[in-house]
């Protein structure tokens, strides 16, 4: 009886491993496709991250809009350590996202959620680069 239970556990683990492997393969394919698209668009990782966030909400997004938002970060080089710069950065990013998103949503709260998502992605990319 114990042997049957162990065999069943082994089979369950094999199935779980196969499902996990399939998900990992799917993620790897998505990463590869994203990198190919990023290179085709000729943009850096930050601009591409911004582009993908906005692209989820806007079908007709111009890559220049993502580049404009990414360039805002260059105006605030110390936003990590300087609270007033961080506040100003968030305001400018939010303003630009609202301007960019006027064409697809008049709901201001949605635009600000999108701006916060962009800020969070850029912040996490900075952590990965620095850490």
Average pLDDT on 97-124 reads 66
Query: pLDDT grade, residue 20 (50/70/90)?
Result: confident
- Condensed to tens digits (0 to 9), the pLDDT of residues 37-47 reads 999 999 999 89
User: Which residue would you say has higher pLDDT here, 95 or 100?
Assistant: 95
Task: Specify the length of the chain in residues.
Answer: 131
| pTM of structure | 0.66
Per-residue pLDDT at 71: 93
Give 41-101 as a DSSP string.
HT--HHHHHHHHHHHTT-SS--HHHHHHHHHHGGG-TTTTT-HHHHHHHHHHHHHHHHHHH
pLDDT digits (tens, 9 = 90+) for 76-98: 989 888 889 988 988 888 888 77
Mean of the pLDDT values across residues 68-79?
90
């Amino acid at each position: 009886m114990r042997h049957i239970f162990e065999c069943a556990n082994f089979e369950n683990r094999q199935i779980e491993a196969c499902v996990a492997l399939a998900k990992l393969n799917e993620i790897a394919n998505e990463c590869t496709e994203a990198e190919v698209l990023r290179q085709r668009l000729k943009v850096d990782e930050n601009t591409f991250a911004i582009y993908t966030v906005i692209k989820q909400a806007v079908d007709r997004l111009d890559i220049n809009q993502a580049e404009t938002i990414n360039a805002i970060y260059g105006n605030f080089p110390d936003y990590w350590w300087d609270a007033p710069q961080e506040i100003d950065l968030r305001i400018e990013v939010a303003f630009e996202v609202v301007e960019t998103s006027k064409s697809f949503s008049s709901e201001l709260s949605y635009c600000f959620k999108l701006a916060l998502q962009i800020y969070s992605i850029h912040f996490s990319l900075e952590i990965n680069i620095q850490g």
